[in-house]
Amino acid sequence: MSISTDSVYAHKVFKETSPSLKNVNYPMVSDRTHQISRAYRVLDEKSGAAIRASVFIDPNGIIAAKLIYPGEVGRNLHEHVRIMQGIQYAQQTGKGVPANWQPGQQGINKDPNFIGKI
């Protein structure tokens, strides 16, 4: 789902006029009260707008990852998928995923003896 401080009317117009949103099939939530943005600490109080962020929440409602982007930089959806797959892999196997890990690769054992040696 996407959440922004824009109104539902702004979301509607954006979806109807933006070619990249034409086939979006997920909910677009309006956070006009800023309650959600404040809860996830992504509200820019000065402008009243949420900063560009992606928050990954696990099935237990725990934040598993949070990415903050400059306003001028778009998100990398391939990286979002990789992050979700890495989180799922770690939860299923009990292993960590190293830098540049890709689905299908082995994870690493979570062992404090490896700290500083990898």
Q: What is the mean pLDDT of residues 49-73?
A: 91
The yes-or-no verdict on residue 117 having pLDDT over 70 is no
**pLDDT (tens digit, 9 = 90+) per residue, 11-48?**
888 888 988 777 778 888 999 999 999 999 999 999 99
The residue that leads in pLDDT, 112 or 4, is: 4
Mean pLDDT on 50-61:
91
Name the average pLDDT for the chain.
Answer: 89
- Sign for the CA dihedral angle at 48, 50, 26, 64 comes to negative
pTM for this prediction: 0.74
In Å, how far are 92, 99, 100, 104, 114 from 107, measured between CA atoms? Answer: 11, 10, 11, 9, 13
Does 99 have pLDDT greater than 80?
A: yes
pLDDT grade for 118, boundaries at 50, 70 and 90: low
109 pLDDT higher than 90: no
Q: CB neighbours of 44 closer than 8 A, spacing ≥ 6?
A: 50, 51
